[in-house]
Homo-oligomer: A and B are copies of this chain.
Amino acid sequence: MNSQDNQPSIARVRDYFHDLQTRLCDAITAVDASADFSSQEIATPGGGMAMPRVLDDGKEIERGAVQFSHSIGDSLPAAASERNSHLAGRRYEATAISMIMHPRNPYAPTCHANLRFFLVDAEHWHFGGGFDLTPYYPFAEDVLHWHRTAAQACRPFGEDLYARFKQWCDEYFYLPHRDEPRGVGGIFLDDWNQDGFAQSLALITSIGEQILPAYLPILQKRITMPYGEREREFQLYRRGRYAEFNLAIDRGTRYGMQSGHRIESVLASMPPMATWKYDWQPEAGSPEAVLYDDYLKPRDWLTELSPGQGDAGL
């Protein structure tokens, strides 16, 4: 690799994220022909740009959002660089892409993915991101496929990476007030700047390129399954947990809410509809109980699961 390649470049990451946004939207539209993503280009201070692309009330995707942003800041807030307080006041740039899909069919899981890059100078930059899955009626083969694809994205960059990122994901997507994981996890990393820029970008790209292979086969398989009022009701109830996580726990959402970012972009990740019931518990042995008993716990999916075992809802 030549030194040019290893020079941190906001343009290279930005262009990759922006292109990925188009491909993610196109791929979702290919599954749900009704998916008409909005496309708004919003100028942000200092010459940055945000492009939220959101879809409400599609035939298969009840709410979907694929958002790209490139931010330029004149002066890094002290709070943003606690571990590097000497960076306060410095110019910085950041770019990010995020995707969230809330399918209508309760058998199809909600998918979240996010990639981001933060740059002050050649010495001070980092990547973050990952993807995680939130099923309502989980299938062992889907969870296996999801985690196998996640592991595949990490493998070229280190034998231990998937296990580390999987645990990081379990720790982050967790509702302490419920002592409950948000879903079945995936991979998550933050403050990543190991082995140089080129290698870090290659890792992030590898993760970005596995978002669709991880999710689309699950989405396509599950949206054709017939379901009734019972499954819809449980999906809406569990989406309440998603709302709790986003509004009360998620650092990104809370930062966006507190820092005066465009609120409709920040909350585009919210479920389109959610319910709360008082003191509700799934009936023992029911398909709903399977979610709690077998899936809402951090497990070593790749070694513990086999396809067709312990499915819910069938």
Q: Which residues of A contact B (CB under 8 A)?
A: 38, 54, 56, 63, 65, 176-178, 236, 240, 243-244, 247-248, 254, 257-258, 260, 263-264, 266-268, 270-279
Contacts and interface: CB of A to CB of B under 8 A. Distances in A.
Contacts of A38: 278-279
A224 B272 CA distance: 29
Nearest to A247: B247
Contact of A54 (B176, B273, B274, B279): B279
Given A247-B244, A248-B254, A248-B257, A177 B272 contact: no
A178 B263 contact: yes
A247 B175 CA distance: 12
A277 B248 CA distance: 19
B274 A243 contact: yes
A272 B275 contact: yes
A264 B243 contact: no
10 contacts: A56-B278, A176-B257, A177-B257, A177-B260, A177-B263, A243-B247, A248-B248, A248-B254, A268-B278, A270-B276
B54 A258 contact: no
A147 B61 CA distance: 44
A63 B272 contact: no
B178 A56 contact: no
Sort A-B residue pairs by CB-CB distance and give the 8 closest, nearest first: A247-B247, A270-B276, A177-B257, A247-B248, A54-B278, A264-B279, A273-B275, A56-B278
Nearest to A278: B54
Contacts of A63: 276, 278
A177 B278 contact: no
A274 B274 contact: yes
A140 to B, nearest CB: 29
Contact of A276 (B178, B258, B260, B272): B272
Contacts of A267: 244, 276
A56 B248 contact: no
Contact of A273 (B236, B247, B257, B264): B236
Interface centre among A63, A176, A177 (most CB of B within 10 A): A177
Nearest to A257: B177
Contacts of A248: 247-248, 254, 257
Given A248-B257, A258-B177, A271 B276 contact: yes
A177 B256 CA distance: 9
Contacts of A254: 248
Contacts of A258: 176-177
